[in-house]
Homo-oligomer: A and B are copies of this chain.
Amino acid sequence: MNSQRKNIKDMINKWLTSNQEDGINLLKALVQAKSTQKNEKDSQDIVIKTLEKIGLEIDVWEPDGEKLQKHPYFACSRINFKESPNVVGVLKGSGGGKSIILNGHIDVVPEGDIAQWIHDPFSGEIIDGKLFGRGSTDMKGGNVALLLAISAIRELGIPLKGDVIFQSVIEEESGGLGTLAAIERGYRADAAIIPEPTNMKIFPKQQGSLWFRITIHGRSAHGGTRYEGVSAIEKSFLVVNHIGELEKQRNNKITDILYENIPIPIPINVGKIEGGDWPSSVADIVKVEGRIGISPDETMEEAKKEMTDWLKKLREINLWFDESPVELEWFGARWIPGSINIDHELMNCLSTCFHEVTGEQAKIEASPWGTDGGLLTNVANTPTIVFGPGITEKAHYPNEYIEIDKVFEAAEIIALTIVEWCS
């Protein structure tokens, strides 16, 4: 590290230390502003205020669902985004440098079974250096790291040549509509970072995923003569087990070394089940919904075909499926896989900064879930790395939390990376 760079690193570190309280308060406020689907506005208003304070050029708009739904990569459960704005803030460079997109989603998944939470899921309670709440790890902690990084650079007056484009997007959790809307609005850059919860690992490859719905048929009858009917609930168990076999087969084929520490590289998760309409009747229809992970080395179409063909084999397991085949739909969310070369310039830059800040070698892996990185890399031609302070295992989990120190560590690494990349 040359002395000028060392100097900048120290300035950023000092700035972050002296602004710790503001950073924590910002994160707490964002977690408290529950931003499940359709409720993003309060959180976005906090983001807008923060961007105003930093002094960026701000762009706030409600995506045009009518228009976007014609896009081949549209995947969303709604087309009306009233009161669900996207927010972008741009720090213009002086020109002649490389630009960067810093993208984070503001939406959070539902809190699930409230009984499993020790605190109110939207309290933002802080205990022993951990801030608890839905969205803390996935990914408001990452978003705060971005805002701190930009704020530090701006307040310290560090000159940049390339533009820094901060994006607070909606709808990542159901397929990336917010990022797609930002791409369609014209935002592009030479590279991007998304601080999803990676446990501070660097992910040059992101798994894609697709949502599916399978409809399983039975034949109704009175529960007292249930042997006259065919239970769609019992048949659904066969279907879910059959999907488990497909998951095994697909994962046995994964040889990429970036997945070697991941128990199931591309999981298939059945997340919802619903069927039957009367306790005393045999259920005649059950629907299961889930997500199938897409390897960075396959296309979505290949994965779809594999699952479609696999479900046709159900008839070999149980004759009922010959008479009443299950129906497979692809619906709602979809995240296309993304991949950049592990020796891409931004990989080197980020890994170096990581080492300078932490004194350790960065761990490089492939992501266990889809992110908006697939859209940025493939649709916006903006090579994307996923790297952030949240805890992978706590995403979508009761008692989700983030370690506050990691938010500041990530902010420092990202600030240094921006300075290096955009200068």
Contact = CB atoms under 8 A, between A and B. Distances in A.
Interface string A244-285: 000000000000000000011001011111111111111111
Contacts of A231: 269-270
Interface string A383-401: 0000000001101111000
Interface string A193-214: 0000000000000010101100
A304 to B, nearest CB: 15
B272 A224 contact: no
A396 B217 CA distance: 16
A370 interface: yes
A325 interface: no
A222 B280 contact: no
Interface in A210-235: 211-212, 217, 219-229, 231, 233-234
A288 B293 CA distance: 28
A40 interface: no
A19 interface: no
A241 B221 CA distance: 20
B396 A264 contact: no
A280 B275 contact: no
A116 interface: yes
Contacts of A233: 240, 270-271, 273, 288
A279 B273 contact: no
Given A222-B395, A396-B222, A278 B270 contact: no
A269 B397 contact: no
Among A225, A240, A267, A275, the one with the most B-chain Cβ atoms within 10 Å of its Cβ is A225
Nearest to A393: B228
B285 A291 contact: no
Interface stretch (A10-18, A54-62, A105-113): A105-113
A368 interface: yes
B224 A369 contact: yes
Interface residues of A, number: 68
How many subunits of this chain does the assembly comprise?
Answer: 2
A367 B222 CA distance: 12
A49 to B, nearest CB: 30
A403 interface: no
A372 interface: no
A396 B112 CA distance: 34
Contacts of A285: 112-113
A195 B137 CA distance: 62
A333 interface: yes
Contacts of A392: 222, 225, 228
Contact of A333 (B212, B227, B280, B369): B280
A170 interface: no
A109 B281 contact: yes
Contacts of A370: 224
Closest 9 CB pairs of A and B: A224-B369, A223-B269, A272-B276, A222-B396, A224-B368, A279-B289, A222-B395, A271-B279, A113-B284
Interface of A: 109-110, 112-113, 116, 138, 173, 207, 209, 211-212, 217, 219-229, 231, 233-234, 236-237, 240-241, 263-264, 267, 269-286, 288-291, 293, 332-333, 367-370, 392-393, 395-398
